[in-house]
Amino acid sequence: MYKNKKKPAIAVLSILTALTILAGCQDQKARSQSEQDKTQYQQAPQTETATETDQTEGDTDMSATHSVEIQKSYKQITEHNPVMLQRFGADPYALVYNGRVYLYMTGDKPSYEADGSVKENTYSNINTINVVSSDDLVNWTDHGTVYAAGKNGAASWGANSWAPAAAYKNIDGKDKFFLYFANNGNGIAVLTADSPTGPFTDPLNGPLISRDTPTCAEVTWLFDPAVLMDDDGSAYIYFGGGVPSPDKAANPGTARVAKLSDDMISLDGDPIAIENVQYLFEDSGINKINGTYYYSYCTNFDVTLEAEKELGFSNGEIMTMKSDSPMGPFEPANGVLKNPEVFFGLGGNNHHCMFEFEGQWYIAYHSRILEEKMGILHGYRSTSIDKVRFNEEGEPAASVGTRNGVPQVKDFDPYQTIPAVTMANEAEIDTTQFGEEAKEYGSGDMILTGIKDGSWTSIEGVNFGPEGAKSIEVEYLGTGEGTINICLDLPSAEPVCRIPVSAAGKELTIVTAEFENPVTEKHTVYFVFEGSNYSVHSWKFNK
């Protein structure tokens, strides 16, 4: 049965009418597919669509199951990296809160030449911060782009928003959230909010740290913050980078640490230098692991062959130092991540964060694997996650960057209202702010847009249980018409149901489809779209 309802009115179509319109919901065909079948969705640029010659032998004949060709994604359907395809996102920083990981990323966005070709990324136009979150590290919900700096940003006094760091603290009985970022290389800003997704506002109307801050005038690059929330409730901020002159490449002296005041928006004392940070370039990181403080950073690109042999690290590598105090002194420890060029063949700056989630340590970092699939190759970066490896002494050690990424840490629950901008993978899909607050501040409620024939999103590891789902509700709006196909395990699989979408206008409308047979057990669920000029806000399966 299909039900369309514009809030609050409800219009119900009979089963017979719906079956007449759509020739019925298909019998559930939850078929297992080999990895060879799945790898056909390794994507060339998204502007291409799959054709019969793209099909591997034995794959479903798409003309028999869909009236449109299935669009291609920028990653294989077995891959989890990069975590987001709808936008670029660099310099990742993770905040774990209430069972979810929130990733904050520099909002890389392409610049264009007069002829429409993409320019090299100079970072000069970056003034937003992307936010996504997940409770399983595979399916990520898009929370939009914080309007952080620039004319329309919260910190309108600043030009740019690079390399964010996030923290939260309970103040006066309420959790408060703090988003720190660099105004290019000339200072650190802080924004505050009552939610990890905003809206964020500027409590200072100026920088938290600037070149007027004691000990900071001589820091070459006054940027790349990281924040430690210690077990006793105290907080510390780490920042800085750059090489003042070639003769100081081995020990630039540009790393700083300062204690934050209880309000998290002022300093409790002057910053001090972190001594002997060998070949420092940028990218402060900080973690407390088994009682030891690990400061991490990216090495510069002046590491000589002799130094590499002596010290055991190379250019653009993430290194760690350790201490029994949050403000040091620190001593050299281990390398934890080689430059992305080692893993993916394309190099550049290396930026990371390490975080613990559900008893496992992970490292988030950026690479150029998304722009490579897009055929751009101009320094636009995207975020990936892999596991942190530890040595025999229990110290973080050399980790490996992969396209497969990390396994899902828990099953996905389909029996709750899920934002349609939650996805493990997608093809030819956009997202945009929804509602006045999100449109004003950039982050918050989002809606799935840019739908065209054959575009799709997917959710991995959806556990329907033995009794299964009997129906699905989809909430949408727009002037267009089309069909939402619910497919299991492959986007080209025969739909278990086809949901009609009719012109709904500007009001959110709910269409409900009842399955002829319950959808049971665990699957990857694909939402394969037909038509255009409509947007999807949320969905929910019902038992």
Query: Distances in Å between the alpha carbon of 434 and those of 443, 464, 510, 527?
Result: 9, 29, 16, 20
CA gap 294, 285 in Å, rounded: 8
Dihedral class, residue 359 (left if φ above 0, else alpha if ψ from -120 to 50, else beta): left
**How confident is the model at residue 68, as a pLDDT?**
86
Nearest residue to 472 via CA among 445, 508, 510, 502: 510
Q: Is 137 helix (H, G, I), strand (E, B) or coil?
A: coil
**How confident is the model at residue 87, as a pLDDT?**
97
Query: For the chain, which domains are there?
Result: 2-78+411-542 (2.60.120.260), 90-397 (2.115.10.20)
- Starting at the earlier edge strand, list the strands of the sheet with 140-147: 90-97, 100-106, 128-134, 140-147, 422-423
- Which are the contacts of 335, defined by CB distance < 8 A and separation ≥ 6? 312, 313, 317, 318, 319, 320, 397, 398
**How confident is the model at residue 4, as a pLDDT?**
47
Q: Is 469 helix (H, G, I), strand (E, B) or coil?
A: strand
**Antiparallel, parallel or unpaired: β 2-6 and 505-519:** antiparallel
**How confident is the model at residue 65, as a pLDDT?**
61
Q: Is the dihedral of CA 127, 190, 184, 343 positive or negative?
A: negative
pLDDT in tens, 160-209: 999 999 999 999 999 999 999 999 999 999 999 999 999 999 999 999 99
**Tokens coding 148:** 């952080």
DSSP assignments along 216-239, one per residue: -TT-SSB---EEEE-TTS-EEEEE
**Antiparallel, parallel or unpaired: β 422-423 and 162-171:** unpaired
**How confident is the model at residue 531, as a pLDDT?**
96
Mean of all residue pLDDT scores within the chain: 90
- Which are the contacts of 401, defined by CB distance < 8 A and separation ≥ 6? 337, 338, 340, 342, 343, 344, 365, 367, 384, 386
The separation between the first and the last C-alpha atoms of the chain, rounded to the nearest angstrom, is 14
pLDDT in tens, 279-314: 999 999 999 999 999 999 999 999 999 999 999 999
Q: Which residues of the chain fall below pLDDT 50? A: 1-64
CA gap 431, 433 in Å, rounded: 7
- Listed in order, strand segments (DSSP E) in 172-289 are 174-182, 188-193, 226-229, 235-240, 255-260, 272-273, 280-289
**How confident is the model at residue 504, as a pLDDT?**
87
Please name the amino acid found at residue 305. Answer: L
pLDDT in tens, 54-75: 333 333 343 346 778 999 999 9
Active-site annotation, residues? 91, 282
